[in-house]
Amino acid sequence: MLHIRTATASDEELLYQMLCDLENEILDLSAFTQVFQHNLSNQDIAYLVAEWDGVVVGMASCHVQPLLHHAALVGEIQEMYVDPALRSQGIGQKLVDALVDFARSRGAVHLEVTSNQLRQDTHRFYEREGFKKTHYKLIRKL
């Protein structure tokens, strides 16, 4: 049975592994720990995990912040990961539903997500979940 819950400090190692897989690189563990621990106490950030029969099989995160160009609160999905062997089982959909509920509970008027251009399957997933391609995101490394 699938269960979505709020992540806790004890989920850190699993989330670290999932995000390394998502980003296709080994993230700095010390920096990851610092950010994760800092954000856990922020009421405008949600870290959720998906458990299937007690085993963590996915995660998602969202932050809500006031944006001038919307003159309102906006939620943004920052990360989402589902075990590749369990994709297309409704896990991602349940995680998105939970993030929508979180963003609404914080007063957000929009929920946004950014996804790498190469992740075409991910784009189709988000479009099925009601997201529309309306913007380009440009990145400048510092």
From 12-26, 90-104, 114-128, the region with the lowest mean pLDDT: 114-128
Whether this model's pTM surpasses 0.75: yes
Q: Which amino acid is at 83?
A: D
Model confidence pLDDT, tens digit, residues 35-74: 999 999 999 999 999 999 999 999 999 999 999 999 999 9
Give domain limits for the chain.
2-128
| Share of residues in the chain with pLDDT > 90 (%) | 84
2-128 is classed CATH 3.90.1640.10: no
**99: which 2 tokens?**
């993030």
Contact 18, 78 (CB under 8 A): no
Q: Is the pLDDT of residue 118 over 90?
A: no
Residue 82's pLDDT is what?
96
Residue 79 CA, chain-centre distance (Å), reads: 3
**Residue where the block lists tokens 């920096």:** 31
Residue 135's pLDDT is what?
86
End-to-end CA distance of the chain: 43
Q: Which amino acid is at 141?
A: K
Contact 67, 103 (CB under 8 A): no
Residue 137's pLDDT is what?
84
